[in-house]
Amino acid sequence: MNQEKKNKREKRVYDEAFRREAVALLQSSDEPLVQIAAELGVSQWNLRDWRKQYGDSSGSPKPSKSAAALGAIGTGAVAA
């Protein structure tokens, strides 16, 4: 029974202000979610859930760099 207590993790609670700031950082950064979560000391799953809860209401994800690059490529003429 003593070992059972050792294996349990203590649940950490983050206040709403911290969660909102974490989401704002995520949305304004080009860094991946996993990296930002690690820098903040939270799990990637927490940050993902907070983004769903506090993120912008448009529901559209931030375009990736590769999507922007493909859009720029698509503006040229197509060779026949």
Q: Does residue 28 sit in helix, strand or coil?
A: helix
Output the CA torsion sign for 21, 23, 27, 32: positive
Residue 29 — very low, low, confident or very high, per pLDDT cuts 50/70/90? very high
How far, in Å, CA of 69 to CA of 64, rounded? Answer: 9
Domains of the chain from N-terminus onward: 11-73 (1.10.10.60)
Q: Please determine, for residue 68, whether its predicted confidence score (pLDDT) is greater than 80.
A: no
- pLDDT at residue 47 in the model: 98
Q: Please determine, for residue 59, whether its predicted confidence score (pLDDT) is greater than 70.
A: no
One-letter amino acid at 23 equals V
Count Cβ atoms within 10 A of the Cβ of residue 21 and give its class: 0-12 exposed, 13-18 middle, 19 or more buried.
middle
Q: Please determine, for residue 27, whether its predicted confidence score (pLDDT) is greater than 50.
A: yes
How many residues in the chain? 80
pTM of the predicted model as reported, rounded to 2 decimal places: 0.61
Residue 77 — very low, low, confident or very high, per pLDDT cuts 50/70/90? low
Give the DSSP letter of residue 75: T
